[in-house]
Amino acid sequence: MAGGRIVALSDSREQNPLPRPDDAMDLSLIIALDVVNGAASLFLLCLGLAIIFGMMKIINLAHGEFVMLGAYATVISANAGLNIWIAMLVVAPLFVGLVGLVIERCLIRFLYGRLVDSMLATWGLSLCLIGLVTTIFGNTINGVPTPLGGFQVGAYRSSWYTIFLLAMALLVMALVYGVLRFTRFGLVARAVMLNPGMAATLGVNPAKIYMATFGIGAAVTGLAGGLLAPVSGITPVMGTAFVAKCFITVVGGGAAIISGTLSAAGLFGFVNQLGAFLTTPVYGEVILFLTAILLIRLLPQGISGRFFKGTL
């Protein structure tokens, strides 16, 4: 298979002539759905990291393990007989949010303003979490089935769960936007993000805000893990597949939490999925990475640093 990875062998073309126009339309619809879905999952996965990085300038290398914890929380409570929707929409974010709070109190709060140390500590934390989960649950866990069924677009099938993920991405985005934009907490949080010293003089306790922000970031990440649990392979090391990609997306997006992450996730998700469809998943990834490099070269402050200045 050297060279061309996806080999549509030539003789197959003759028996399998080009798709009919309506078939082609169905196909493009399905592909569009895949692309949007890819971007939505990436957005869900990155949002928690973006909240923590954007507000606190902490790069959380244990991000992938938060996703893993969310998935484990979902799977374990669902297997214990809990309704799957409650397991992923309530248990996962609550559990990971709590874990986040504990970690913030015991570890992260000593590391504000120390970007590199925070990376080192969270790297150690990620190893700890992997080791802990492996010790407790072993390397194998019984997963949960994907709820909802499939649906038909012409000759093609896709799953309702894809649509659900998309809807959840939109909902979470709206929720985070709403909290940051319209609530008192959001206002204070943004003030702390802009200038912690000034906020402190005005009587806000930045430590509390940081703690809450870290908890919220962790909860959002846990939710993402819960939502992806039914469509993922669940292992203690599953998080490592996400960290680098999320890191690149968040930094590529720039400082604005929502517009930055959304635009970067949209761009990278689009490029990755389209590249994967047109070439192979390997080159889909390579294309994504090349795009990221070019993007940062052209927009050294991230997308939001250039186009969405001052937005959320």
At closest approach, how far in Å is the CB of 90 from another protein? 22
Nearer to another protein among residue 96 and residue 111 (C-beta): 111
Least separation in angstroms between CB 86 and another protein: 18
Closer to another protein by CB, 148 or 202: give it.
Answer: 148
Closest alpha carbon to 84 in 144, 44, 167, 137: 144
Assigned token pair, 55 = 């507000």
Question: Would you say 164 or 177 has its CB closer to another protein?
Answer: 164
Rounded least distance, CB 219 to another protein, Å: 22
* CB distance 260 to 304 below 8 Å: yes
What's the closest the beta carbon of residue 272 comes to another protein, in angstroms? 8
- Comparing CA positions, the residue from 236, 176, 155 lying closest to residue 49 is 176
CA neighbor of 34 nearest in space, from 162, 148, 160: 162
The beta-carbon contacts of 157-165 under 8 Å, at least 24 apart in sequence, are 158/30, 158/33, 161/230, 161/231, 162/33, 162/37, 163/33, 165/37, 165/40, 165/41, 165/44, 165/227, 165/228
Of 140 and 201, CB closest to another protein: 140
Candidates 116, 54, 94; CA nearest to 246 is: 54
In angstroms, give the least distance from the CB of 183 to another protein: 27
Contact 122, 61 (CB under 8 A): yes
Complex with another protein: residue 41 or 213, whichever CB lies closer:
41
Smallest gap from residue 168 Cβ to another protein (A): 15
DSSP H helices, 80-195, are 84-86, 92-106, 115-137, 160-182, 184-194
Q: Closer to another protein at the Cβ: 4 or 310?
A: 4
User: Which among 286, 312, 11 has a CA at the least distance from the CA of 175?
Assistant: 312
How far is it, in rounded angstroms, from Cα 100 to Cα 68? 13
Least distance from C-beta 124 to another protein, angstroms? 3
